[in-house]
Amino acid sequence: MSTQDRPAASPAAGPTRREVYEAGVRRRANRIALASTIAVVLALVILIPLAPGWEDVKRAFFNGRVFAATFPGLVEAFVLNVMIFAWSAPLIALTGLGIALCRDTRSPALFPLRLFGVAYTDIFRGLPVVLVIYIIGFGVPGLGLPRPWNSPYIWGTLALVLVYSAYVAEVLRSGIDSIHQSQRAAAASLGLSERDTMRYVVLPQAIRNVVPANMNLFIALQKDVALLSFIGPVEIFRQAGVYKSLYANFTPYVGAALIFLALTIPATRYADYLMNKQNRERS
């Protein structure tokens, strides 16, 4: 796109007529986009407060007094979310990889492993996360485990790992499948064992291909950590519920949402960036 590509137009002659025209089109598009954005924002800002119940809604959801009183406590509770996320994510990645490899076994003798992989992903992707958390979080400790082995943190984490590793396994499997058969054939012709082929040829490419898809899963996990509150841990969502009950006001939920967004928006932006980068490299 540089000017050197077009020897006809010397730099001294300034922009070509085509460039002037295109710049004009761009400016016009920008002006229209700006005007329509302003119109939409103005309509929202003006019209919503005109609704008859706006004062009530404002008092119940956007109450400055309640927000100020509860926000520090919410931030404090959010630390627990981050901790649960931090120890769940690596476990999920490892288990997911294991299940994906189970499903990809090709030897007839390992058919039971393949069957296990299929059953695992089918079951745990098909169950609501909350149900798995209840069954494992209350059920397993109910078998009579002594403390601290009946802690809701342990079994709640296991529930999250079970469900999310099923999704991650499927994403990884799609990555493994995306590596063309000819690569395996080439590796075999070089004398690599099947195991080494997977380790050194297939997986490095497969995992790189599915990084953006897995980023989305981990963003979803960050939100689903809140479901552990069902079995006891007081993380941000539960803390917001406690404040809601004490103040009879929904503002703490809005505060919790803001804290979630502060983390998930940068993470989604980063995932988008990775995905775009990958698309550019491929094209």
Question: Which residue, chain included where needed, has tokens 């590596």?
Answer: 179
The three-class DSSP label of residue 180 is coil
Q: Which residues contact 249 (CB under 8 A, 6 or more apart)?
A: 59, 60, 63, 66, 243
- How far is residue 233's CA from residue 227's CA, in Å, rounded to a whole number? 9
Q: In terms of CB distance, is 202 or 236 closer to another protein?
A: 236
Contact 129, 160 (CB under 8 A): yes
> Which of 108, 126, 144, 191 touches another protein (CB under 8 A)?
144
**Nearest distance, CB of residue 158 and another protein, angstroms:** 14
| Identity of the residue, 147 or 280, whose beta carbon is nearer to another protein in the bound complex | 147
Using CA atoms, how far apart are residues 258 and 120, in angstroms rounded to an integer? 35
Query: Do 80 and 234 touch, CB atoms closer than 8 A?
Result: yes
| Short-list 62, 70, 66, 57, CA closest to 238 | 70
Element (H, E) at 194: helix 194-196
**According to CB under 8 A, which residues from 173 to 202 bind another protein?**
none
CA distance 116 to 8: 67
Q: Which residue has the tokens 């499948």?
A: 177
Residues 122-141 as x/- pattern, contact with another protein by CB under 8 A = ----------------x--x
Return the number of the residue (23 or 51) whose C-beta is nearest another protein. Answer: 51
CB nearer another protein, residue 69 or residue 211: 69
127 or 242: CB nearest another protein: 242
Write down the least CB distance from residue 142 to another protein, Å: 4
Enumerate residues 212-251 that contact another protein by CB under 8 A: 229-234, 238, 241-242, 244-250
Could you say whether residue 150 binds another protein (CB under 8 A)?
yes
Residue 76 or 272: the one with the smaller Cβ distance to another protein is 76
Q: Which of 145, 185, 186, 190 binds another protein (CB under 8 A)?
A: 145
Residues that bind another protein (CB under 8 A): 53, 56-57, 59-61, 138, 141-142, 144-147, 150-152, 229-234, 238, 241-242, 244-250
